[in-house]
C-alpha cells in the first residue's frame, strides 16, 4: 500500500459523501481509514474493500482518533483529511509523484460549496449555513440539496502564523519573486504553516515527530504543530500546484458548526501548547531554531517588531569579564542602549550619578528603556555571556514578560558550572512599553517606601502579582537553542547559591545539574580564565 488516508470523524453529516468523493478520484494504491469517534456514521458508509472503519463507542478526541487511524495504516505515506472535503481526480498519484520523504505536502485548497437549502414550494435557494426555520420568501419548508462544488476561487496557496500564534493566510508571500520562481519552475511552493484540514507525510515521520500530540487536547492549532515540527526537524512544507482539494468551512455557527464539544478554554490550551512549541522548541528531532524559519519567510506579519538591547552596569566589574561579555553581546547585531555609573563607550550611553544599589539599578534600567527606540528589548547585564540564539526570540504577546531559562551559572574562580531552571532579570525579553510601565511603577513604589527594598516584591517583573508584586502582568519562559552563561564573581549584587540546601523552597532548584563544562561552550572548570580568553578571541 502506497497511501493511507486518515479521516477522524464525529457527527459528520458529509463523511459518507467525502469518502464517496475520495473513492471516485483516487487513482493509485490508496486506502481510506475512517474513525467513527463516539458515533456511527449517518448516513452510513457503503462497503468498499478500500475503506476501513474504526469505531469507538466513547469519543476519544480528534487528535487521538487520527493517531489510531495512523496506527492501522499500511501505506508508506499517510494523509490526514477532514470529513467534509472534495478532491481532484488523481490527487493521490499527483501528490506522490513529487513527494520527498522529509516533506509535508498539501494540495492547493479551494472552498467547498457542499449544499444549498431548497424550498420545495417556490424553489428559493439559500447558500449553505444553519438550518432555516422556513423559506424567507414563501414560508415553505426548506430541505438540504447537496451540490458538492469545488469553488474556483479563492485558491489558498500559502499560510503563516503570528507570535500569538494565530493561523493566517499568507497572500503577500505569493507576490514575491522567489515564490513565483518556485511555482513556475516546479509547480511546488513553500509554505511557512499549514491549514490543518489536509496534510501528507510519511507514516514514519508522522510518528517520529508526534505531529498529532494528544497532550494538546482534542483539537486546535494542528496546522501550526505539523508545519513547525516539519520545518524545524530539517524538512520542508510544500504546496503542490498540480492538484487541489476543497474544504467546507463551518463559519456560520448554529447547527452547522464544529461536531466536537469545543470550549474557549480548549482552543486556548491548544494555542498555549503551540506557543510553547514555538518559544521553547526542543522537541525530538529538532535541528533548526525558529529564527531560521522566520528568516526564510521574512517579513512575516506580526514578527517584524524591531529589537534592541538595554545594558546596565554598576561600573565595578573586573574589566576582563565586562569586556568579554560586551563583545559577545555585539554578535547579536542589535542596537544597544547602556546605562552606567561611570562613562562607558558601549552603544548609546547614559550615566546615572548615584551610588550602586537596587533602586539605582532600577533607575538605570528605566533610563535605558526610555532611551531605546526598539519595540522589543532584551535586558542584558554586564556579567553574562549571551549566546546569539538568545536574541532569536520574539515575544508572542505584548502584555507578558518572557524569561530565557536556558542559563548556566559559572563560578569565576573555580569554573564550576551549575544549571537549574530560574527566571532572572538578565534573561528577560519583552515589549519596551510594557517594561517602561512596570519600572516606572516599581521605582515610584520603592521611593514611596523611603528607598527601602521589600524583597517579597521580587526582582523579576511578572513573577508576583499585585499587591505583592508591581502589577498583574504574567511571566512565561522560553529556552534559547544554546545556553547563556551567568558569571558569578565577588561583586555580584545578589548572592550565589551552589548547593540545594541554600534554597528554603526546593521547587526553585528544579533541573539541578553540576558540571565541568557548559553545553555548546566547552570546559570551564579549572580553566575559566582560559575559557574567557577563548570567547574574547573568537
Cα 248 vs. chain centroid, distance in angstroms?
A: 26
Q: Would you kindly state where each structural domain of the chain is located, as residue ranges?
A: 3-297, 307-537
Higher pLDDT among residues 304 and 366, named by residue? 366
Predicted local distance difference test score (pLDDT) of residue 253: 46
Who has greater pLDDT, 504 or 471? 471
**CA–CA gap between residue 502 and residue 508 (Å, rounded):** 10
β-pair type (348-351, 3-9)? unpaired
Q: Around 453, how many Cα atoms within 13 Å sit in the side-chain half-sphere?
A: 11
Q: Rounded distance, CA 358 to CA 445, Å?
A: 13
C-alpha cell at 240: 503542490
pLDDT digits (tens, 9 = 90+) for 132-168: 889 999 999 999 999 999 999 899 999 999 888 889 9
First to last CA, the chain: 53
What SS3 class is residue 366? helix
pLDDT for 328: 95
Which cell numbers hold the place of 522? 566547552
- pLDDT tier at 57, thresholds 50, 70, 90: very high
Q: How far apart are alpha carbons 25 and 39 in whole angstroms? A: 27
pLDDT attached to residue 147: 95
The pLDDT score that the predictor gives to residue 262 is 59
Please check whether residue 3 is in contact with residue 73, taking contact to mean a CB–CB distance below 8 angstroms: no
pLDDT tens, residue by residue, 515-536: 999 998 999 999 999 999 999 8
Q: Calculate what percentage of the chain has a pLDDT beyond 90.
A: 73
pLDDT digits (tens, 9 = 90+) for 167-209: 999 998 999 999 999 999 999 999 999 999 999 999 999 999 9
Work out the number of other CB atoms within 10 angstroms of the CB of residue 138: 12
Q: What residues does 402 pair with on adjacent strands?
A: 429, 476
Judged by average pLDDT, the poorest of 86-95, 254-263, 338-347, 488-497 is 254-263
Say what the pLDDT of residue 164 is: 82
**Band of residue 365 on the pLDDT scale cut at 50, 70, 90:** very high
Angle between helices 432-448 and 358-371 (to 10 degrees): 150
Residue 27 has pLDDT above 80, yes or no: yes
3-297 and 307-537: same fold? yes
CA nearest neighbour of 302 among 209, 190, 181, 168: 168
**pTM over the 0.75 mark:** no
Write the burial class of residue 467 (CB in 10 Å: 0-12 exposed, 13-18 middle, 19+ buried). exposed
Decide which of 295 and 187 is more confident. Answer: 187
Judge contact between 130 and 253, C-beta under 8 A. yes
Mean of per-residue pLDDT scores for the chain: 91
Which are the contacts of 264, defined by CB distance < 8 A and separation ≥ 6? none
Helices within 233-306 (DSSP H only): 264-280, 290-297
Out of 181-190, 250-259, 442-451, 505-514, which region has the weakest mean confidence (pLDDT)? 250-259
Joined grid coordinates for residue 530? 582560559
* Host H or E run for residue 149: strand 142-156
Strand partners, 33: 6, 52
User: What is the percent of the chain where pLDDT is above 70?
Assistant: 96
Task: Tell me which of 1.10.390, 3.90.550, 3.30.160, 1.10.357 is the CATH number of domain 307-537.
Answer: 3.90.550
For residue 39, pLDDT over 70 is answered with yes
Q: pLDDT, tens digit, for every residue of 226-245? A: 999 999 999 999 999 999 99
Mean pLDDT of 483-496: 87
Q: What is the pLDDT of residues 67-87, one digit of tens each?
A: 999 999 999 999 999 999 999
Pick 26 or 291 by higher pLDDT: 26
The model's pLDDT over 82-122, given as tens digits with 9 standing for 90+, comes to 999 999 999 999 999 999 999 999 999 999 999 999 999 99
Instruction: Report the CATH number of the 3-297 domain.
Output: 3.90.550.10
One-character DSSP codes across 89-147:
TTHHHHHHHH--TTEEEEEEEEEEEEEEEEETTT--EEES-SPPSS-TTT---EEEEEE
Check residue 251 and give its pLDDT: 52
Task: Report yes or no: 428 and 460 within 8 Å, Cβ to Cβ.
Answer: yes
Give the whole-angstrom CA distance, residue 207 versus residue 100. Answer: 17
Mean pLDDT of 255-271: 69
Question: What DSSP state is assigned to residue 45?
Answer: P
Question: What is the model's pLDDT at position 509?
Answer: 82
Amino acid at each position: 500500500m502506497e497511501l493511507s488516508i486518515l479521516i477522524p470523524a464525529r457527527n459528520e453529516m458529509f463523511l459518507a459523501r467525502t469518502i464517496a468523493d475520495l473513492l471516485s478520484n483516487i487513482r493509485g494504491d490508496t486506502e481510506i481509514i475512517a474513525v467513527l469517534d463516539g458515533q456511527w456514521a449517518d448516513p452510513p458508509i457503503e462497503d468498499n474493500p478500500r475503506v476501513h472503519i474504526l469505531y469507538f463507542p466513547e469519543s476519544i478526541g480528534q487528535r487521538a482518533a487520527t493517531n489510531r487511524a495512523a496506527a492501522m495504516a499500511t501505506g508508506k505515506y499517510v494523509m490526514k483529511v477532514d470529513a467534509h472535503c472534495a478532491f481532484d481526480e488523481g490527487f493521490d498519484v499527483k501528490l506522490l509523484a513529487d513527494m520527498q520523504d522529509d516533506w509535508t505536502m498539501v494540495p492547493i485548497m479551494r472552498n467547498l460549496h457542499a449544499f444549498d437549502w431548497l424550498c420545495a414550494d417556490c424553489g428559493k435557494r439559500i447558500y449553505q449555513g444553519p438550518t432555516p426555520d422556513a423559506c424567507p420568501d414563501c414560508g415553505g419548508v426548506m430541505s438540504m440539496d447537496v451540490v458538492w462544488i469545488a469553488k474556483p476561487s479563492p485558491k489558498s496557496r500559502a499560510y503563516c502564523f503570528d507570535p500569538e500564534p494565530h493561523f493566517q493566510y499568507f497572500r503577500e508571500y505569493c507576490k514575491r519573486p522567489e515564490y513565483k520562481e518556485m511555482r513556475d519552475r516546479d509547480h511546488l511552493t513553500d509554505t511557512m504553516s499549514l491549514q490543518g484540514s489536509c496534510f501528507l507525510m510519511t507514516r514514519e515521520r508522522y510518528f517520529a515527530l508526534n505531529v498529532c500530540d494528544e497532550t494538546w487536547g482534542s483539537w486546535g492549532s494542528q496546522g501550526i504543530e505539523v508545519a513547525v515540527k516539519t520545518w524545524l526537524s530539517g524538512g520542508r512544507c510544500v504546496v503542490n500546484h498540480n492538484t487541489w482539494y476543497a474544504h467546507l468551512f463551518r463559519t456560520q455557527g448554529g447547527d452547522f458548526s464544529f461536531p466536537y464539544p469545543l470550549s474557549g478554554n480548549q482552543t486556548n490550551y491548544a494555542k498555549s501548547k503551540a506557543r510553547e512549541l514555538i518559544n521553547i522548541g526542543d522537541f525530538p528531532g529538532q535541528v533548526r531554531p525558529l529564527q531560521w524559519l522566520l528568516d526564510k519567510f521574512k517579513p512575516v506579519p506580526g514578527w517584524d517588531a524591531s529589537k534592541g538591547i538595554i545594558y546596565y552596569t554598576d561600573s565595578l566589574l573586573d574589566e576582563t569579564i565586562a569586556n568579554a561579555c560586551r563583545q559577545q553581546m555585539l554578535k547579536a547585531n542589535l542596537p544597544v542602549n547602556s546605562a552606567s555609573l561611570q562613562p562607558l563607550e558601549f552603544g548609546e550611553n547614559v550615566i546615572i550619578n548615584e551610588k550602586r544599589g537596587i533602586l539605582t539599578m532600577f533607575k538605570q534600567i528605566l533610563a535605558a528603556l526610555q532611551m531605546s527606540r526598539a519595540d522589543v528589548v532584551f535586558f542584558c547585564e554586564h556579567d553574562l555571556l549571551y549566546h546569539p540564539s538568545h536574541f532569536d526570540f520574539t515575544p508572542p504577546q505584548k502584555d507578558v514578560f518572557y524569561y530565557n531559562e536556558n542559563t548556566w551559572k559559572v563560578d569565576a574562580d573555580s569554573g564550576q558550572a551549575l544549571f537549574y531552571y530560574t527566571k532572572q532579570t538578565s534573561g528577560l525579553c519583552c515589549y519596551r512599553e510594557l517594561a517602561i510601565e512596570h519600572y516606572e511603577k516599581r521605582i515610584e513604589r520603592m521611593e514611596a517606601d523611603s528607598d527601602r527594598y521589600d524583597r517579597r516584591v521580587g526582582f523579576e517583573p511578572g513573577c508576583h502579582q499585585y499587591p505583592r508584586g508591581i502589577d498583574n502582568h504574567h511571566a512565561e519562559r522560553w529556552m534559547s537553542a544554546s545556553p547563556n552563561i551567568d558569571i558569578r564573581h565577588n561583586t555580584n549584587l545578589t548572592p550565589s547559591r551552589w548547593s540545594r540546601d541554600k534554597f528554603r523552597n526546593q521547587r526553585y532548584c528544579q533541573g539541578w545539574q553540576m558540571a565541568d563544562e557548559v553545553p555548546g561552550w566547552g570546559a570551564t572548570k579549572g580553566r575559566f580564565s582560559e575559557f574567557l580568553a577563548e570567547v574574547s578571541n573568537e
